[in-house]
Amino acid sequence: MGGIRGLLFWAWTGSAEPRATLAQPNTTLLEALGATSVASGVSVTPDSAMRFSAVAACVRLISESIASLPLHVYERGDQRRRVVAGPMTRLLHDEPNPLMSAFTFREALSANVLLNGNGYAPIIRNGGGEAIELLPVPSSQVTVRRAASQLVYDVRIDGAQTFTVGQADMLHVPGLSFDGLLGLSPIRYAAQSIGLGLAAEQYGAAFFGNGSTPSGYISLPGRLSPEQAAKMRDAWFNVYGGVKNAQKTAVLFEGGKFERISIPPDEAQFIETRKFQISDIARWYRVPPHMIGDLERATFSNIEHQQLEFVMHTLRPWLVRIEQELNRKLFPSRVNGTPGNLVCEFNVDGLLRGDVKSRSDYYIRGRQWGWLSVNDIRRLENMEPLDEGDVYLQPMNMVAAGDAPDPAADGTSTDTTEQEAT
How confident is the model over 323-360, as pLDDT tens digits?
A: 999 999 998 765 555 556 888 999 887 676 666 777 78
Determine the distance from the C-alpha atom of residue 116 to the mean position of all C-alpha atoms in its chain, rounded to a whole number: 12
Sign of CA dihedral 377, 380, 383, 388: positive
Measured between alpha carbons, how far is 137 from 122 in angstroms, rounded to an integer? Answer: 8
The phi and psi torsions of 345 (rounded to 5 degrees) equal -155, 140
Global pTM? 0.70
Q: Tell me the CA end-to-end span of the chain in Å, nearest whole number.
A: 87
Among the residue ranges 11-20, 182-191, 265-274, 358-367, the one predicted with the least confidence is: 11-20
The residues facing 174 across adjacent strands are 118
Residue type for position 15 = S
Please list, in sequence order, all residues whose beta carbon lies within 8 angstroms of the beta carbon of residue 175, skipping any fewer than 6 positions away: 113, 114, 117, 118, 183, 184, 185, 186, 321
**According to DSSP H, which parts of 241-309 are helical?**
265-268, 270-285, 300-309
* Rounded alpha-carbon distances, angstroms, from residue 29 to 19, 44, 123, 147, 262: 10, 12, 32, 32, 39
| Nearest one of 39, 379, 38 to 188, comparing CA atoms | 38
Residue 36 pLDDT level (bands cut at 50, 70, 90): very low
Contact status, residue 89 vs residue 111, Cβ threshold 8 Å? no
- For 118, the enclosing helix (H) or strand (E) is strand 118-125
The pLDDT confidence band at residue 18, using thresholds 50, 70 and 90, is very low
Cα radius of gyration (the chain):
32
**Amino acid in the structure at residue 171:** L
The Cα 24–Cα 143 span in angstroms is 11
How far, in whole angstroms, is CA 146 from its chain's centroid? 29
Torsion of CA 174, 178, 180, 185, to 10 degrees: -10
Residue pLDDT, tens place only, 122-175 = 999 988 888 899 999 999 899 999 888 889 999 987 666 788 999 999 999 999
- What is the residue extent of each domain of the chain? 1-18+47-188+197-210+267-352, 216-260, 353-413
